[in-house]
Amino acid sequence: MTLVERFLKYVSFDTQSSESSETTPSTAKQMVFAQYLKTELEELGLEDITLDENGYLFATLPSNVDGVVPTIGFIAHMDTSPDCSGEHVNPRIVENYDGKDIVLSAEEGVTLSPIQFPELLAHQGEDLIVTDGKTLLGADDKAGIAEIVSAIAYMKEHPEIKHGPIRIGFNPDEEIGLGAHKFDVEKFGCEFAYTMDGSEVGELEFENFNAAGAKFTIRGRNVHPGYAKGKMVNSMLVANHLMGLLPENETPATTEGYEGFYHLVGIQGDVEQTTVSYIVRDHDRTRFEERKQYMKELVDKVNACYGETLVTLDMKDQYYNMREKIEPVMYVIDIAKEAILATGVDPIVRAIRGGTDGAQLSFKGLPCPNIFAGGLNFHGRYEFVPIQSMEKAMQVVVKIAEITAQKLMK
């Protein structure tokens, strides 16, 4: 089976995760895909294949060298985003893309255009896998899975490529922030690993946001509006007051690069009670803590304004910037850079304006930077992946294994 055939097969599985679920995996259909992958890995002849009750699939390609080489890992997630349907994905291949609009769905008027998505122009002359305009594609992260499996198959077919022991790990629920929560790092047994979950060809990421979730609960007091003077407290208006105290130029729509933000993600309410949910993000740990402290100060400020306790805050850290865990072992970045260069691609080292399973895994003791998988416009019907980018990502996996054996064998 070729890389493209694998990918097209994988996206036929609906694996959306669900934020409302309390199980792991959050949806049973992820386990269906995991079982399929387990069978495929068995047919490839891998060893130590395990699929636990939570949907974590591990396997090993044994070393083919006499010396001792550190065990390394490659990781990708099986779920797709809850933001857009992943059911009945119907991809097609646009060969030798000409730089013009691509009509995805004529009946729904959905067009993938370089006017809205100028990154398309960087892939003229390449072969693009696109959606039918009705679902997401699933390159996030089934492209990563296809690249890893295809690289492992390639190394088995080419024993002249010398490598140490390689572990692969496929996990559920990354899209709802739970991909690494039940990932057994000790069982995985690697010195370092890479998630194949980046975007544009060449990307290499070992910095990400520090992240927290914040939920304000505002209690109001409802009284008949005709007789409410001096008595009513409208929780929605209190919430509006609170939100107005946050800096308007520190939102996702007004920031870039290393700039952090407060992002309003949900409001629900009536006169009696309103909840307001935010996520807080910053690459700098000190600034991150200052942002959280400011959220706490808002509670005191608003309550003082109304003379009673109307606002409470539930705030929890979600993940941290993996840079502090990668910097002591920067050789894992050097290996990845060398591997990317060896495929004829210039490494693009940038910070993630988001999170990654690799960040949580790094804090669990497994240094785990992120490498491109090639897809673009994730989480929606405009998602696409150039076949040539997937091929480069597959080659990077092979090269990392080869370079690790060359440089770290004892």
Give the separation between CA 102 and CA 114, rounded to whole angstroms: 9
pLDDT of residue 407: 93
pLDDT of residue 50: 98
Give the separation between CA 79 and CA 148, rounded to whole angstroms: 16
pLDDT of residue 144: 98
pLDDT of residue 107: 92
Element (H or E) spanning 276, and its range? strand 273-282
pLDDT of residue 334: 97
Q: In what order do the strands lie in the sheet with 203-205?
A: 47-51, 57-61, 166-171, 72-77, 192-198, 370-372, 203-205, 348-349
Domains of the chain, earliest start first: 3-207+321-408 (3.40.630.10), 210-319 (3.30.70.360)
Catalytic sites, residue numbers: 79, 174
pLDDT of residue 89: 97
Nearest of 331, 320, 347, 348 to residue 404 by alpha carbon: 331
pLDDT of residue 410: 84
What is the phi-psi region of residue 402: left when phi exceeds 0, alpha when psi lies from -120 to 50, beta otherwise?
alpha
Within the chain, which residues score under 70 in pLDDT?
A: none
